[in-house]
Amino acid sequence: MAMTIHCDIVSAEAELFSGRAKLIVANGTQGDLGVTYGHAPLLTSLEPGPVRIVQDNGEEVIFYVSGGFLEVQPNVVSILADTAIRAGDLDEAAASSAQKSAQQAMLDQSADVDYTRASAQLAAASAQLRTLQQIRKSLSK
- pLDDT by residue (tens digit) across 23-36? 999 999 898 999 99
Handedness of CA 60, 61, 66, 70 (dihedral sign): negative
Q: How far is CA 63 from CA 10, 41, 68, 90, 132, in A?
A: 11, 22, 13, 9, 9
Q: What percent of the chain has pLDDT over 70?
A: 87
- pLDDT by residue (tens digit) across 29-83? 898 999 999 999 999 999 888 899 999 999 999 898 888 999 999 999 999 998 8
- Structure confidence at residue 110 as a pLDDT band (50, 70, 90): low
Q: Which CATH superfamily is domain 5-87 in?
A: F0F1 ATP synthase delta/epsilon subunit, N-terminal (2.60.15.10)
Q: Any idea which fold 91-139 has?
A: 1.20.5
Residues 88, 54: Cα–Cα separation, whole Å? 16
> Where do the domains of the chain lie?
5-87, 91-139
